[in-house]
Amino acid sequence: MSPTAMTKYALDQTRAQMQVCTIFFGKAPYDSVYITEQPNFNFGQSWPSLVYLPISAYIDSTQRWMLFGQINTKFNGFVQEVTPHEVAHQWFGHGVGWASYHDLWLSEGFAEFSAGLFLQQAVGKKWEKDYIDFWERQRVRILEKNNFGVSPNDAGPLWLGLRLNSPRSAQAYQGDTYSKGAYVLLMLRSLMYADHGPADNRDQAFIDMMHDFMESHHDSPASTESFKAIAEKHMTKQMDLQQNGRLDWFFNEWVYGTQVPRYSFKYELQPADGGKVKVHAELKQSEVDDHFAMFVPVFADFGNGMVRLGQMGVIGNSTRAVDFILDRQPKKVALNSYKDILER
């Protein structure tokens, strides 16, 4: 564990995250970023062009195991998230500020989303487990009830930010502003994802939205509504549910509301014309009001990892059936395999 090697690890992670963020969000707001360690084990902080990392962020997973053995997964999660989260604050927080406490999720939630993006984009072939574990941790942070029976999500809408904290909901700000804020951006990415078309730009609508968000907030801090206006500019046709060019339905559900759906999914495979295979899929949504709308992605495994087939739209407490025609027999079909949509 030489200091040089430790520094190299932290620097490699920082460089990789700078590249990921540049692709997805646009040019970095500063020409260079310095990183330095500070002795607190559980805390990082980002300043304009300077990132304080906890000393724990300088040791890789093997070294962590040598030092601590089977340490708890929460700490492991923190160490995985802290460097990419803090580096992303160069964009969210410094490149674009926030208008009021209502809008802090545009900084903390987006930085947290970016930590997940790092685990997906910068880790190499074996990214899936860490990435899925990351979103499961976020889901738990949003929905796990405390000793009073109150989860952060129960405490109130994400938009209330710090005001969600009370003696009965001490983790609500953290769970909502960071984790649910990250989830809101992840869900937009999933809704905007192009299931068909060239394989190298399936995220193009999302990337365009984020570049636009950065560029249009150079001189003015972002608010929930100014972000919503950008999202409305870049939404897909399918997302325009009310055909009025607005995303009221999505923001009312996830930013100004507290509903979280429960899903159950089943499917049957049937032979179809021309040697193809028909997937008859049924999605049931429950524990929401009659107007709650969502699109949930469906995946198939042909023996080489999950491939996204498309999205199933559903409104209210109801069951929706959709048929997908495939060229060959899948080993398995599954809903929401990468935890793109927040569900109970």
* Cα angle value 293/173/288 (rounded, 5°): 20
Which CB sits closer to Zn ion, 175 or 297?
A: 175
Is residue 104 within 8 A of residue 98, CB to CB? The reply is yes
- Exposure string over 105-135, b if 16+ CB within 10 A, otherwise e: bbbbbbbbbbbbbbbbbbbeeeeeebbbbbb
- Compute the least distance from the CB of residue 244 to Zn ion, in Å: 34
Q: Using alpha carbons, select from 342, 296, 266, 334 the residue that is nearest to residue 195.
A: 296
Report how far residue 330's alpha carbon sits from residue 269's, in angstroms, rounded to the nearest whole number. 9
Q: Strands, E, within 225-287: which ranges? A: 262-271, 277-286
β partners of residue 301 = 306, 332
- Compute the least distance from the CB of residue 92 to Zn ion, in Å: 8
Q: What are phi and psi of 299, to 5 degrees?
A: -125, 155
Which CB sits closer to Zn ion, 51 or 191?
A: 51
Which CB sits closer to Zn ion, 108 or 232?
A: 108
- Compute the least distance from the CB of residue 258 to Zn ion, in Å: 23
- Compute the least distance from the CB of residue 85 to Zn ion, in Å: 6
Distances in Å between the alpha carbon of 7 and those of 14, 64, 67, 76, 98? 10, 15, 17, 19, 32
Report how far residue 168's alpha carbon sits from residue 216's, in angstroms, rounded to the nearest whole number. 39
Which CB sits closer to Zn ion, 108 or 176?
A: 108
- Compute the least distance from the CB of residue 309 to Zn ion, in Å: 35
x/- track of binding to Zn ion for residues 261-300 (CB under 5 A)? ----------------------------------------
Which CB sits closer to Zn ion, 37 or 86?
A: 86
Which CB sits closer to Zn ion, 179 or 311?
A: 179
Which CB sits closer to Zn ion, 51 or 111?
A: 111
Which CB sits closer to Zn ion, 88 or 314?
A: 88
CB atoms within 10 A of CB 342: 23
- Compute the least distance from the CB of residue 139 to Zn ion, in Å: 19
How many chain residues interact with Zn ion (CB under 5 A)? 2
- Compute the least distance from the CB of residue 199 to Zn ion, in Å: 33
Q: Using alpha carbons, select from 91, 86, 89 the residue that is nearest to residue 27.
A: 91
Which CB sits closer to Zn ion, 108 or 343?
A: 108
Q: Which of residues 108-167 bind Zn ion (CB under 5 A)?
A: 108, 111
Residue carrying structure tokens 């707001």: 29
Q: Using alpha carbons, select from 259, 225, 269, 249 the residue that is nearest to residue 313.
A: 249
x/- track of binding to Zn ion for residues 77-116 (CB under 5 A)? -------------------------------x--x-----
- Compute the least distance from the CB of residue 46 to Zn ion, in Å: 7
- Compute the least distance from the CB of residue 163 to Zn ion, in Å: 19
Report how far residue 147's alpha carbon sits from residue 1's, in angstroms, rounded to the nearest whole number. 41
Using a 10 angstrom Cβ sphere, with 0-12 exposed, 13-18 middle and 19 or more buried, the burial of residue 156 is middle
Question: Footprint of Zn ion on this chain (CB under 5 A)?
Answer: 108, 111
